Amino acid sequence: MKDTIANPGSESSRLLFEQFVRLADGKSIEDVLSASANMIANCLRQNYGLRHEVEGRIDELFGRTKQILLEHYDPTTGHRRSIVPYDTVIRPTLVLTDDQFTNLGDRRRH
């Protein structure tokens, strides 16, 4: 699964995100949001010793995340946009070329 909100920045981050997605599969949205919020809060609390440091970091983190997330919603209607991820590959099963249609409907043919 690809994280469509944040650039994970490293292979380790991507792998951690994928593990969390597997663990969260089948859980309620409230349980997933609560676990996510608790992980963020604990990580910030353990790594920033001063209130102004943690407050600045969380403002930056959630401000950037909010901006990226809102790009997935139409500003006029407010509805979620249907966005095809960049890693989606569409492969046609049959491609017809011009040489396969020679003389079909050709008015110059006698």
Give the mean model confidence (pLDDT) for residues 1-20. 73
Residue 108 clears pLDDT 70, i.e. is over it: no
Q: What angle do CA 76, 58, 55 make, to 5 degrees?
A: 125
Identify the CA nearest to 37 among candidates 64, 62, 55, 54: 62
Residue 107 clears pLDDT 80, i.e. is over it: no
Q: How high is the pLDDT of residue 90?
A: 55
Q: Report pLDDT digits (tens) over 65-103.
A: 898 889 889 888 888 887 655 555 555 555 555 665 555
Q: How high is the pLDDT of residue 69?
A: 87
Lowest average pLDDT, out of 5-14, 20-29, 42-51, 97-106, goes to 97-106
Tokens coding 69: 């997330």
Task: Please tell me which residue, 95 or 35, carries the higher pLDDT value.
Answer: 35
- Calculate the CA 16 to chain-centre distance: 15
